């Protein structure tokens, strides 16, 4: 069943509950403010809450496999001996109206309000004389709605590994559960906003999301007609379109200064350069075909892109360490946050066929003058074809060959092996490259042990750092200036002296870092730039498409059916 069909099924279930569970004919609708709790005693409601809890939890089942925190709801009621949460002294806690308002604005966080049952709650609140059973139902549904929203706002609604097996960074927090054990519904509702990620990037993106949402709702996209490139000094209606679009997108601030709308002046060129930079285009100040194509991307598409990245932020820890290594895959850079300062450098990441995964590790040591044990996949797919083409390749590039992958494997003479007769799928030899400046790892590698066998390292292929898009490796991350990175990590410690001695002697040496550092390999396609504007990046690994499908934005094909 598709997620859209399942959403309709939940709506149908709740409608049925409203009619079937009513002990009297459907009352006339009244305003929510006139909701009054009548005859049933608190003991009766308590008993009914216990009876209705399992039914409600079953009715509001997860949609499309998303993990809703129903077990936590049950435990919270059990802990309070199934006393109602939203009804106190025969009065409805007024914070339920604030809860509904928060749930209806879930889209300001990139979450879908339909998942949080606000409309169902409002229908219940319009019942003039609710029965004992209906009071229990509204109490349980309100708690389910609150806990589901709290979970999704804190941890994200979707399971990253179900979307993308290469996304292995998911750091769920337990903070959202705590609000269900607060003393009152008022405290619970007031605590909800505190569960959103506190990182400034999340907060800035959220503001831009609201801006784009409101803009898309109240005015149409301004399109720039396709044609010859527009440059400084050009005039005409297409220049006016360009100016209007840049105003709409925020690259030109509104000004009362009178300008010739049809003229391509210096101010328009500066604004266009700003737009090009924050969309990773060639910043030449000319509106060519690629720039116009990017300008014409609809606002609603930008809304979706920001939504994907807000969800990605919710998959990260709620609090990031002050000292950390931040490998920004879509920006092809590593940012080292250490002792209150940040140093950045360019990196080369995995090619699309060998994606660098998103995950967390802890850097504990580095190796000087490392040898390279060639991963089996690279040996099969890259190394073997080169050996078949040139039998001297191994000797020329300093490779040793071992009989197998065991530590005690015998070293072999590669000239005695008939390489052309070896099938790629049956290659069982182990290859190691000697330590020198031509080694694929260069002179340094930086280790944060992980199941992916990914690390940061030097490279002899320095020319790749001049490229704008730098996805060329087999998965590991290559550093532009590994010597500077090493000095930064070891500065002022005894380990720095050990590194210098090893580099002078050419010795392969393992050096423990004086401070173990968390390493985050992250992937964002929208981030705030230094001016606080949204920077839309190239989706090098096509991960936004996976988010689009998982979050229900992708169009359904004719085969999508029950």
Q: Enumerate the β-bridge partners of residue 349.
A: 471
Buried b (16+ CB within 10 A) or exposed e, 331-360: bbbbebbbeeeeeebbbbbbbeebbbbbbb
Average pLDDT, the chain: 88
Query: What does the pLDDT average to over 490-498?
Result: 93
DSSP 204-263: HHHHHHHHHHHHHHHSPPPPPPP-SPB-TT-BSHHHHHHHHHHHHTTSS----S---TTB
For residue 63, what pLDDT is reported?
Answer: 55
What class does CATH assign to 318-522? mainly beta
Q: Is 156 helix (H, G, I), strand (E, B) or coil?
A: coil
Query: What does the pLDDT average to over 181-202?
Result: 95
Residue 250 corresponds to which tokens in the numbers above? 């925020």
Query: What does the pLDDT average to over 22-34?
Result: 40
Band of pLDDT at residue 552, cut at 50, 70 and 90: confident
Spell out the domain ranges in the chain: 3-196, 222-297, 318-522
φ and ψ at 424, to 5 degrees?
-55, -40
The catalytic site residues sit at 457, 476
DSSP state letter for 355: P
Q: Are 444 and 368 in contact (CB under 8 A)?
A: yes
Superfamily of domain 222-297 in the CATH hierarchy? PGBD-like superfamily/PGBD (1.10.101.10)
pLDDT in tens, 103-140: 999 999 999 999 999 999 999 999 988 888 888 899 99
pLDDT higher than threshold 70 for residue 435:
yes
For residue 78, what pLDDT is reported?
Answer: 92
Does the pTM surpass 0.95? The reply is no
Which conformational region is residue 90 in: left (phi greater than 0), alpha (psi within -120 to 50 degrees), or beta? Answer: left
């Amino acid at each position: 069943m598709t997620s859209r069909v399942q959403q309709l099924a939940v709506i149908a279930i709740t409608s049925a509950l409203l009619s079937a569970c009513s002990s009297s004919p459907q009352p006339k609708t009244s305003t929510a403010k006139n909701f009054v709790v009548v005859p049933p005693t608190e003991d009766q409601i308590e008993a009914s809450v216990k009876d209705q809890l399992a039914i409600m939890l079953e009715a509001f089942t997860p949609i499309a496999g998303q993990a809703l925190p129903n077990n936590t709801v049950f435990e919270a009621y059990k802990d309070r001996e199934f006393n109602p949460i939203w009804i106190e002294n025969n009065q409805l806690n007024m914070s339920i109206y604030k809860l509904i308002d928060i749930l209806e604005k879930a889209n300001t966080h990139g979450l879908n309000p339909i998942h949080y049952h606000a409309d169902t709650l409002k229908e219940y609140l319009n019942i003039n004389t609710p029965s004992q059973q209906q009071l229990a139902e509204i109490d349980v549904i309100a708690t389910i709605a609150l806990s589901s929203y709290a979970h999704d706002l804190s941890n994200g609604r979707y399971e990253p590994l179900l979307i993308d097996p290469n996304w292995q960074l998911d750091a769920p927090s337990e903070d959202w559960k705590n609000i269900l054990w607060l003393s009152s519904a008022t405290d619970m509702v007031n605590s909800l906003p505190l569960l959103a990620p506190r990182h400034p990037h999340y907060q800035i993106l959220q503001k831009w999301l609201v801006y784009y949402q409101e803009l898309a709702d109240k005015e149409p996209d301004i399109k720039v007609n396709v044609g010859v490139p527009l440059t400084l000094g050009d005039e005409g209606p297409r220049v006016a379109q360009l100016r209007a679009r840049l105003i709409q997108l925020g690259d030109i601030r509104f000004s009362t200064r009178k300008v010739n709308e049809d003229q391509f002046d210096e101010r328009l060129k500066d604004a266009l350069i700003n737009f090009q930079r924050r969309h990773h285009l060639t910043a030449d100040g000319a509106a060519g075909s690629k720039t116009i194509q990017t300008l014409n991307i609809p606002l609603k598409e930008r809304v979706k892109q920001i939504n994907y990245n807000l969800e990605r932020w919710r998959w990260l820890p709620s609090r990031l360490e002050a000292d950390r290594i931040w490998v920004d895959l879509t920006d092809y850079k590593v940012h080292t946050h250490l002792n209150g300062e940040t140093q950045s450098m360019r990196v080369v990441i995995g090619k699309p066929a060998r994606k660098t995964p998103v995950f967390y590790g802890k850097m504990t040591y580095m190796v000087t003058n490392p040898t390279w044990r060639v991963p089996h996949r690279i040996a099969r797919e890259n190394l073997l074809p080169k050996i078949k083409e040139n039998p001297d390749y191994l000797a020329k590039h300093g490779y040793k060959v071992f009989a197998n992958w065991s530590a005690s494997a015998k070293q072999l003479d590669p000239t005695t092996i008939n390489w052309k007769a070896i099938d790629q799928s049956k290659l069982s030899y182990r290859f190691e490259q000697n330590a020198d400046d031509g080694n694929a790892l260069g002179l340094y590698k930086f280790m944060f042990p992980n199941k992916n066998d990914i690390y940061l390292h030097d490279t002899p292929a320095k020319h790749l750092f001049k490229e704008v898009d730098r996805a060329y490796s087999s998965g590991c991350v290559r550093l532009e200036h590994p010597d500077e990175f090493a000095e930064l990590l070891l500065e002022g410690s005894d380990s720095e002296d050990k590194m210098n001695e090893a580099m002078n002697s050419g010795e392969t040496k393992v050096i423990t870092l004086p401070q173990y550092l968390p390493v985050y390999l992250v992937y964002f396609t929208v981030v705030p730039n230094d001016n606080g504007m949204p920077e839309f990046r190239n989706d090098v690994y096509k991960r936004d498409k996976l988010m689009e499908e998982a979050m229900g934005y992708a169009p359904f094909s004719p085969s999508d059916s029950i």
